[in-house]
Amino acid sequence: MAGILSARGGAATTPSLRSSRRCGRCEMGHDGSMRIREADSSDCAELTRLVRTSASYQGEYRVMVADMTITAEQVARDDMLVAEADGRIIGFCSLTTSGGEPELDYMFVDDDVQRSGVGQALWTAVVARARARGFAAMKIVSHPPAEAFYRRMGARTVGLVEPSGRVTWSRPLMTISLDHRD
């Protein structure tokens, strides 16, 4: 079900891209407004494109996203949130419990709008959603270059996930406490 998130859903969000940084790197010609909404199955192709073209996953990291596909099943199952500006999807994230505990499954911002506040807005929305679901903490297996972002968002590194399968590198295991007193 698509729609701008309500407070009941965990976030009421119509933030603006940070004007001080958006114009030099962004080709959209947008007015700076952004909305965060729930993903719809019709978004799958665009979300898949966003993942597969991420410049952060080049070189040895490429194997991780090369054939990654965002499916309608994931959209239906998980809390998948999309950041949109001027009708263009510029980022998304998802919260899943498919692995048995609350986990941030995806967090991607399009290359040309990174460092303009989109990731933070998505983070705020997904944390609100996790809190609304009553979770005490959310796990993150971080892409190594993104660890500093998650730390900036308040997450803690609590370990390392060892390489396995085609993932030949270690990844920081992180957690964010969702305790309302924090």
Ligand X SMILES: CC(C)(COP(=O)(O)OP(=O)(O)OC[C@H]1O[C@@H](n2cnc3c(N)ncnc32)[C@H](O)[C@@H]1OP(=O)(O)O)[C@@H](O)C(=O)NCCC(=O)NCCS
Closer by beta carbon to ligand X, 67 or else 134: 67
* Calpha distance 151→154 (Å, rounded): 5
Q: How far is the CB of 93 from ligand X (least distance, A)?
A: 8
Query: Tokens at residue 9, please?
Result: 């859903």
Q: Which strands form 137-141's sheet, in the order they lie side by side?
A: 35-38, 79-85, 88-96, 103-109, 137-141, 171-177, 156-161
Residue reference for tokens 């407070």: 7
Q: Which residue among 143, 155, 174, 175 contacts ligand X (CB under 6 A)?
A: 143
- Counting DSSP H helices and E strands in the chain, the numbers are 6, 7
Q: How far is the CB of 45 from ligand X (least distance, A)?
A: 18
Q: How far is CA 21 from the centre of its chain?
A: 20
160 touching ligand X, by CB under 6 A = no
* Calpha distance 176→154 (Å, rounded): 7
109 touching ligand X, by CB under 6 A = yes
Size of the site for ligand X (CB under 6 A): 19
Q: Which residue among 119, 127, 129, 138 contacts ligand X (CB under 6 A)?
A: 119
Q: How far is the CB of 142 from ligand X (least distance, A)?
A: 5
13 touching ligand X, by CB under 6 A = no
148 touching ligand X, by CB under 6 A = yes
81 touching ligand X, by CB under 6 A = no
74 touching ligand X, by CB under 6 A = no
Q: Are strands 103-109 and 88-96 parallel, antiparallel or unpaired?
A: antiparallel
Q: Are 49 and 108 in contact, with CB atoms under 8 Å apart? A: no
108 touching ligand X, by CB under 6 A = yes
Q: How far is the CB of 114 from ligand X (least distance, A)?
A: 3
Residue reference for tokens 């940070």: 18
Q: How far is the CB of 87 from ligand X (least distance, A)?
A: 19
Q: Which residue among 74, 94, 114, 175 contacts ligand X (CB under 6 A)?
A: 114
The CB-nearest residue to ligand X is 119
